[in-house]
Amino acid sequence: MARLKIEGEMVRGRFLSRTSRFSVIAEVADGGEAHSCHLPNPGRLRELLVPGAELLLRPAGDRHRRKTKLDVFAAVADGETIVVDSRVANQILRGALSSGELPEFAGWKLERSEPARGRSRLDFLLAGERPCLLEAKCCTLVRDGIALFPDAPTERGRRHLQELAGAHREGYRAAIVFVVMRGDASALMPNDDTDPAFGAALREAVAGGVEAMALAARYRDGWIELSGKVAVDLSGLK
């Protein structure tokens, strides 16, 4: 399946603390200094960002004029490198759509990224027998083999579902794709304990014709590869 090359050198570090929604303090392995790093993921990530957890940090590059020079790219847990940079879900899905490697979207071509829809911007507009709006979501939380999304309440995520449902009523094809950034999930469920409103919105959207699917992605040796489908179960945890 699709592969995405992650360019540039990674810096190893250790998680020390989270100072804000998008910022952490990490000890960089080379030299042992503590740095403030950008965290491109609004989720809680409590199972991954524990004191002492190994991190992969990615230099932001000179083009980014900001105080933090490192991005948190991934965390290591249970021997697996789990990508926490939520932008990567969009990137690898874009590559798979562009190369025609997703059979669910055979016959559809990527027309535009970030199409505006109501008060939102969704991830992709595809051209086919009818236009298709597609939203990608990054999932990192797995418990007992079940991937759970979201790991923090997400009003934005609920709004995206409402926009997808509205588009479907207007004749669009509409889909939400969860990219599970690890290989130990046999199914994905809405995380009703954390955000019951998202779970309700997802079930309502699917009942109205929005497609929900999940794909597993794993990081190895500088590459992220889509490794297969994950079943979507809307029944909820018992």
pLDDT per residue rounded down to tens, the chain (238 residues): 788 999 888 999 999 999 999 999 999 977 788 999 999 999 999 999 999 999 999 998 665 566 788 999 999 998 899 999 999 999 999 999 988 889 999 999 999 999 998 888 999 999 999 999 999 999 999 999 999 999 999 999 999 999 999 999 999 999 999 999 999 999 999 999 999 999 999 999 999 999 999 999 999 989 999 989 999 999 876 5
What are the C-alpha distances in Å from 141 to residues 49, 98, 179, 190?
12, 28, 11, 11
Residue range 87-232 in CATH 3.90.660.20: no
Cβ contact 115:157 at 8 Å: no
Cβ contact 231:188 at 8 Å: yes
CATH number of 3-83: 2.40.50.580
DSSP annotation string for 106-141:
TT-EEEEES-EETTEE-SEEEESSS-EEEEEEEE-E
C-alpha 65: how far from its chain's center?
25
pTM of the model: 0.94
Q: Identify the residue whose tokens are 């109501």.
A: 118
Please report which residue ranges of the chain form alpha helices under DSSP H. Answer: 87-98, 155-169, 196-207
CATH 2.40.50.580 residue ranges of the chain are: 3-83
